[in-house]
Amino acid sequence: MDVKHVTPFIVGFNTVIPPLGFKRIDKGQLQVKKRNFTGSGIIIIVGMVGQLKGNVVYVIGAEAAKKIASVMMNGKPVEALDDMAKSALGELANMLAAHAATAFSAMKMLIKISTPACFEGNDITVTMSASKVFGVQMLVDDMPIDVNISLEN
């Protein structure tokens, strides 16, 4: 996996996030991570297959997840991460990954995405398929979404 393969995921954020009603997107430092890492809150995985294959894992802490779901649900207060809130977050991950795939196609790389799988819990260890994982934290109106990408040829 090449570091240039991270860019489409950032393009995904820049395309999807503003129309949803968020005002600011900040990109954190790019990290090279081990293939296993621990996350708490909401963890959403999307499989990717095509000229590259692998997975993208979005990790959102519980508090940030509630606020993001609330914005996505037209400002409706979200007190708990119920099915409705998780559906909104699943749809967000789906759109982010779909737009990343579109950005890959602009780089002449065809990639299709699976449906997302949504997990909630504390201290969940995620083991990704490739030995190298790129991680980048995106701040959406100061709410962090960790994006972990593992793709291989």
Choice from 117, 137, 139, 144 touching another protein (CB under 8 A): 117
Of residues 31 and 129, the one with the C-beta less far from another protein: 129
Give a three-class secondary structure readout of 91-147. HHHHHHHHHHHHHHHHCCCCEEECCCEEEEEEEEEEECCCCCEEEEEEEECCEEEEE
Q: Which stretch binds another protein (CB under 8 A): 3-11, 26-34, 53-61, 71-79?
A: 53-61
Distance CA 153, CA 13 (A): 24
Q: Is 60 in the site for another protein (CB under 8 A)?
A: no
Of residues 30 and 124, the one with the C-beta less far from another protein: 124
> Quick check: helix, strand or coil at residue 69?
helix
| Alpha carbon of residue 141 to chain centroid | 15
Question: Contacts with another protein: how many residues (CB under 8 A)?
Answer: 38
Q: Is 129 in the site for another protein (CB under 8 A)?
A: yes
Residues that bind another protein (CB under 8 A): 36, 43, 45-50, 53-55, 57, 83, 86-87, 90-91, 95, 112-130, 152
